[in-house]
Amino acid sequence: MPTTDLTVRLRTRAFLFGIFMRRMIVVMMDANHISERLASLKNEMSELRVTNALYSNRTSYTTLEKSASALRHRRLVEIKLVLADLMKRCA
CB 34 within 8 A of CB 90: yes
How many Å apart are CA 30 and CA 49, to the nearest integer? 28
Q: What are the structural domain ranges in the chain?
A: 2-90
Give the separation between CA 40 and CA 33, rounded to whole angstroms: 10
What pTM does this model have?
0.62
Per-residue pLDDT of the chain (91 residues; tens, 9 = 90+): 455 676 777 778 777 777 666 666 555 557 778 888 889 999 999 999 999 999 999 989 999 999 999 999 999 999 999 888 888 877 6
